[in-house]
């Protein structure tokens, strides 16, 4: 029997320590490489998203600006304009200016969200009256595509504590998206109900459009993210509607969600506490 001496044990220990040190260094290098690769991919995605946003915004801003400039030039250059034409051109200018203002407001709101400075100012409001009003606002665009828009309430809704302007912004965003992504002859349904023993209101907008995959939902919920499909190519946007709506709902202590399946439409819903946020936010 061979008995290992002290020197042999020390040698084995040294070899084990050296191996452990080498292995640890290799693991650290691997982790660093993975982290650097992830950071590079994230930076590339952020750069791509920013570039796509700038390209989309260039188009979105130029379109109403060109309309405003074009109709203004026509009114200046024409010496004798019939009153009906003046009214028509003025209407086009006003419509383009309001669209432009809406784009700028969305960008400013998104900036406030990212800076943590967006706030809401809750007050008692009639949620049913708001739904009716938003339904009327989107009806002209829905009629152009021969879309059926229905509101199916599940019982009466009580007054709630919420920021009227911001909740209107959320619902208009959802309805506008539904109109945008639903093919001609489709259907859009607004659902409203009380849940949680009457403590919460849930509003849902359901459409018969193209729907989204889980991956496309992730893209749509990112600021400036846009899902590429044949309907979106005809109706470009900023990609701010859904993430901004979700942020506004969260400021009310509500929940925001999307349920969708490719080719089978989408259901976008949000909840609001009847009594309003737990702490009343300051004015923005």
- What is the DSSP secondary structure assignment for residue 154, as one 8-state letter? E
Spatial separation of the C-alpha atoms in residues 113 and 226, rounded to whole Å = 19
Q: Mean pLDDT score of the chain, rounded to an integer? A: 81
> The tokens 């009629």 sit on which residue?
143
**What confidence score (pLDDT) does residue 275 get?**
94
Residue 191, pLDDT above cutoff 90 = yes
Mean pLDDT, to the nearest integer, of 18-47?
Answer: 67
Query: Which is it for strands 187-195 and 266-273: parallel, antiparallel or unpaired?
Result: unpaired
pLDDT in tens, 69-92: 888 888 888 878 888 888 888 888
**What confidence score (pLDDT) does residue 224 get?**
63
Q: Nearest Cα to 132, choosing from 203, 180, 206?
A: 203
Structure tokens at 148: 């059926």
CATH code of the region 123-273: 3.30.565.10
Could you tell me the pLDDT band of residue 110, with boundaries at 50, 70 and 90?
confident
pLDDT in tens, 150-159: 999 998 999 9
Domain boundaries, the chain: 1-117, 123-273
Query: Which is it for strands 266-273 and 200-207: parallel, antiparallel or unpaired?
Result: antiparallel
Q: For Cα atoms 256, 261, 266, give the angle at the middle one, nearest 5 degrees.
A: 45
Spatial separation of the C-alpha atoms in residues 153 and 155, rounded to whole Å = 6
Q: Is the pTM of this model over 0.85?
A: no
Percentage of the chain with pLDDT > 70? 74
Class of domain 1-117: mainly alpha
Residue scoring higher pLDDT (102 or 154): 154
| Lowest-confidence region among 20-24, 88-92, 151-155, 262-266 | 20-24
The top-scoring range by mean pLDDT among 17-31, 50-64, 143-157, 219-233 is 143-157
Structure tokens at 230: 């044949």
Task: Report the first-to-last Cα separation within the chain, whole angstroms.
Answer: 85
């Amino acid at each position: 029997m061979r008995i290992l001496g002290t020197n042999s044990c020390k040698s084995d220990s040294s070899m084990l320590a050296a191996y452990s040190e080498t292995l640890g260094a290799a693991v650290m290098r691997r982790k660093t490489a993975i982290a650097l690769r992830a950071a590079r991919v994230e930076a590339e995605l952020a750069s791509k998203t920013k570039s796509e946003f700038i390209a989309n915004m260039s188009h979105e801003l130029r379109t109403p600006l060109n309309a405003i400039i074009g109709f203004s030039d026509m009114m200046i250059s024409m010496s004798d304009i019939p009153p009906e034409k003046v009214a028509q051109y003025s209407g086009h200018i006003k419509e383009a200016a309001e669209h432009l203002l809406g784009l700028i407001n969305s960008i400013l709101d998104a900036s406030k969200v990212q800076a943590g400075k967006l706030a809401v100012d809750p007050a008692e409001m009639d949620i049913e009256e708001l739904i009716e009003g938003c339904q009327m606002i989107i009806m002209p665009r829905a009629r152009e595509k021969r879309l059926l828009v229905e509101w199916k309430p599940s019982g009466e809704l009580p007054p709630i504590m919420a920021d009227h302007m911001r909740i209107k912004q959320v619902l208009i965003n959802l309805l506008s998206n539904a109109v945008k992504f639903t093919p001609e002859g489709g259907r859009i349904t607004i659902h409203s109900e009380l849940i949680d023993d009457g403590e919460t209101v849930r509003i849902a907008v359901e459409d018969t459009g193209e729907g989204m995959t889980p991956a496309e939902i992730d893209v749509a919920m990112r600021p400036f993210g846009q899902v590429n499909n044949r309907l979106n190519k005809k109706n470009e946007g900023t990609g701010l509607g859904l993430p901004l709506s979700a942020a506004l709902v969260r400021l009310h202590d509500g929940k925001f969600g999307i349920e969708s399946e490719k080719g089978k439409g989408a259901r976008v819903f949000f909840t609001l506490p009847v009594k309003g946020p737990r702490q009343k936010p300051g004015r923005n």
